[in-house]
């Protein structure tokens, strides 16, 4: 037995010298101290010894065991540390390294164009207003000089809820809300979603408009001011285009005009997109009708207003010929912007 113990001691010493990793260490532990380990076997054989012998040998065995265990623990700690170091070196990430630049999304094309429009007007001191998407008849129609049952309501097919609630058909109700809530001078734009019963190549049931409204004392705001701003605005958006004002009708403006730019596709020569006229209609505008001021209780004021469709602008700027492709969330389309 003593011989056996010497053998084990030798094995332990050699093992500790040679072992380079945790797995080998665990194998050594099992070989010596596991259920069927060599040292464990010696402990079992104690039974066979006489009292005196047993005492002496047990003492010896215990000291070998505790020395083995403490060495095992310290070597285990050392090897774990080394292994962790190796792992960290292998998985090291150099966060200062440059990677190939991933294309960064600039947002939805309609939003991009909306942002450009907003930027133009905020730069010339317009502030931004908003109103509810679910409107009432008064703000969407009545106050804008569109009495109930007036045929002009036909211009805008509408989604109605019960009673007087409807999805707003344009951003013009924000004109009314702004005038009701504040006093002159007023200089605002109102960007936002609007809804109409329409669906084809150039119309969708939901689209976006930007409304503009300027109101000040009587005589201070004129059609000439409107014309100056819109011409400058349209050139900022579309580049070097011709701009023309064409007499038109809106119930809430008088006089009213629709504004055309020379066709961005053919340069004004005439093509399919502009129906061979050389012109593209881009917005509606006019001098605010007296009846609108009456509806909000304003007196001795003058003002102009305009309204434009953001999707239409985006189609012309990006040469997209089907409006619906903006709303189909096809990444192959959206990634091009």
Specify the stretch interacting with ligand PHE by CB under 6 A; choose among 77-85, 108-116, 220-228, 299-307.
299-307
212 and 292 in contact (C-beta within 8 Å)? Answer: no
Give least dist CB 211 to ligand PHE, A: 6
Residue nearest to ligand PHE (CB): 307
Give least dist CB 159 to ligand PHE, A: 15
Give least dist CB 307 to ligand PHE, A: 3
Specify the stretch interacting with ligand PHE by CB under 6 A; choose among 47-55, 56-64, 87-95, 278-286.
278-286
Specify the stretch interacting with ligand PHE by CB under 6 A; choose among 21-29, 63-71, 108-116, 302-310.
302-310
Q: Site for ligand PHE (CB under 6 A): which residue of 129, 140, 172, 262?
A: 172
Which helix H or strand E contains 293, and what residues bound it? helix 290-295
Specify the stretch interacting with ligand PHE by CB under 6 A; choose among 47-55, 64-72, 99-107, 284-292.
284-292
Site string for ligand PHE, 77-106 (x = CB under 6 A): ------------------------------
DSSP 8-state symbol, 202: T
207 and 327 in contact (C-beta within 8 Å)? Answer: no
Q: What is the DSSP string of 158-184?
A: --B-STTEEE-SSSTHHHHHHHHH--S
Residues 253-272 that bind ligand PHE (CB under 6 A): 253
Residue 329: C-alpha distances to residues 107, 158, 198, 207, 318 (Å)? 12, 25, 19, 15, 16
CB-wise, 221 or 285, nearer to ligand PHE?
285
Cα 92 from Cα 24, distance rounded (Å): 26
How many residues belong to the chain? Answer: 337
Cα 255 from Cα 226, distance rounded (Å): 12
Give least dist CB 272 to ligand PHE, A: 24
Return the number of other C-beta atoms located less than 10 Å from residue 52's C-beta.
8
CA 306 to chain centre: 29
Residue 121 in contact with ligand PHE, rule: CB under 6 A? no
Residue 170 in contact with ligand PHE, rule: CB under 6 A? yes
DSSP 8-state symbol, 216: E
Residue 189 in contact with ligand PHE, rule: CB under 6 A? no
Q: Site for ligand PHE (CB under 6 A): which residue of 237, 263, 307, 314?
A: 307
CB-wise, 120 or 306, nearer to ligand PHE?
306
Residue 250 in contact with ligand PHE, rule: CB under 6 A? yes
DSSP 8-state symbol, 105: P
Specify the stretch interacting with ligand PHE by CB under 6 A; choose among 8-16, 133-141, 179-187, 279-287.
279-287
CB-wise, 211 or 311, nearer to ligand PHE?
211
Q: What is the CA radius of gyration of the chain?
A: 42
Cα 323 from Cα 147, distance rounded (Å): 32
Instruction: Count interface residues toward ligand PHE (CB under 6 A).
Output: 11
253 and 289 in contact (C-beta within 8 Å)? Answer: yes
Q: Site for ligand PHE (CB under 6 A): which residue of 285, 292, 295, 301?
A: 285
DSSP 8-state symbol, 321: S
What backbone torsions phi and psi does residue 87 show, to the nearest 5 degrees? -65, -45
Residue 139 in contact with ligand PHE, rule: CB under 6 A? no
Which helix H or strand E contains 300, and what residues bound it? none
Residues at the site binding ligand PHE, with contacts judged by CB under 6 A: 170, 172, 211, 250, 253, 284-286, 305-307
């Amino acid at each position: 037995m003593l011989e056996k113990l010497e053998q084990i001691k030798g094995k332990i010493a050699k093992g500790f010298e040679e072992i380079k990793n945790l797995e080998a260490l665990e194998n050594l532990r099992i070989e010596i101290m596991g259920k069927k380990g060599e040292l464990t076997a010696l402990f079992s054989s104690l039974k066979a010894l006489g009292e005196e012998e047993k005492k002496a040998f047990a003492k010896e065995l215990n000291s070998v065991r505790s020395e083995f265990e403490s060495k095992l623990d310290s070597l285990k700690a050392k090897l774990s540390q080394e292994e962790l170091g190796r792992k960290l070196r292998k998985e090291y990430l150099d966060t200062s390294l440059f990677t190939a630049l991933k294309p960064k999304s600039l947002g939805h094309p309609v939003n991009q164009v909306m942002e450009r429009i907003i930027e133009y007007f905020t730069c010339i001191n317009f502030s931004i207003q908003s109103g509810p998407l679910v409107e009432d008849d008064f703000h969407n129609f009545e106050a804008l000089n569109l009495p109930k049952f007036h045929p002009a309501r036909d211009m805008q097919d509408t989604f109605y809820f019960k009673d007087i609630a409807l999805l707003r058909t344009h951003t013009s109700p924000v004109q009314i809300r702004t005038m009701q809530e504040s006093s002159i001078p007023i200089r605002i734009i109102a960007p936002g979603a609007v809804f109409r019963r329409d669906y084809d190549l150039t119309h969708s049931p939901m689209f976006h408009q930007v409304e503009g409204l300027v109101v000040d004392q009587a005589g201070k705001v004129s059609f000439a001011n409107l014309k100056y701003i819109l011409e400058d605005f349209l050139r900022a958006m579309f580049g070097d285009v011709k701009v023309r004002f064409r007499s038109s009708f809106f119930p809430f403006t008088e006089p009213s005009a629709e504004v055309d730019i020379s066709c961005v596709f053919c340069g004004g020569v005439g093509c399919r997109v502009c129906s061979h006229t050389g012109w593209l209609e881009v917005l509606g505008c006019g001098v605010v009708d007296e009846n609108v001021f009456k509806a909000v209780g304003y007196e001795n004021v003058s003002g102009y207003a305009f309204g434009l469709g953001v999707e239409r602008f985006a189609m012309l700027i990006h040469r997209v010929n089907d409006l619906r492709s903006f709303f189909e969330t096809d990444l192959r389309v959206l990634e091009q912007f």
